[in-house]
Homo-oligomer: A and B are copies of this chain.
Amino acid sequence: MTKSAMAFLPSSEENGLALDEMAYRRLRRALVTGTMLPGDRLSIRGVAAALGVSAMPARTALRRLAAEQAVDLLPSGTAVVPRLTRAGFAELSAIRAELEPLAVRRAAPHLTEADFAALAALVSAHDAARETSEAEIIQAADRDFLFLIYRAAQAPLLLGLIETLWLRRGPLFGAMRGQRGILGGMRHRHGEILEALRARDAEPAAALLRSEIEEATRFIQSAVRFEGDDTAAERLAAIGRSGA
């Protein structure tokens, strides 16, 4: 287990929970927030030691994350934080572009005035954080805005799938955070989406979110170096092609 994998957040108020739930939540949080870097190995005993529990809850939590595709499993059974390739990112985005607008469509009739107020506050929070380029805050406001809507869709299966996708996307964003100014290039349309939802125009709201996802995807595809882009193996293959 690598050093970075050891960096778990200090225990929150998760005391009444079963140990394996606790382990699962900590690992999950570390994954979505980008604390874990792609390629990090997570061994059962290593996680157990870092969390101060025995191997059993660590194993359960790791296997659960693997079932959700939030981590990959080496042939040996060791868990590893997924390396998102360019193709993998494209696939992930394409799925998001189908499912998240669906959630928006279903949420539209259910949103209350209180929801709208909370959403408006999150749009402001996002804009404020944008001024100061605080990556974590921006991403958190972004996430909260969208998931407030997704939860309102009252579609537990759909919500679970979307969470899976975000879980998978987490490590990439952690890796991206190193590149300064990346977030500055991304526009969001949360304000327009909120307006459409207020008018109960489900279809335009869904279309706006779809555009937002697609635009952000295009931007990231052009601005970010991905795992596997021009790696040692890649260069080796290139030598083979040109030199043979």
Contact = CB atoms under 8 A, between A and B. Distances in A.
Given A63-B60, A68-B67, A95 B102 contact: yes
Interface residues of A, number: 25
Given A68-B67, A157-B69, A168-B157, A98 B88 contact: no
A92 interface: yes
A94 B101 CA distance: 12
Query: Which of A88, A156, A157 has the largest count of B CB atoms less than 10 A from its CB?
Result: A157
Most buried by B among A65, A106, A161: A161
A207 interface: no
A146 interface: no
A47 B99 CA distance: 35
A95 B63 contact: no
- In the A-B complex, list the 10 residue pairs whose CB atoms are closest, starting with the nearest: A67-B67, A98-B98, A64-B67, A91-B155, A67-B68, A91-B157, A98-B102, A69-B160, A95-B158, A161-B161
Given A68-B68, A92-B157, A161-B164, 12 more contacts: A63-B67, A64-B64, A69-B157, A88-B157, A91-B155, A91-B157, A94-B102, A94-B106, A95-B99, A95-B102, A95-B161, A161-B161
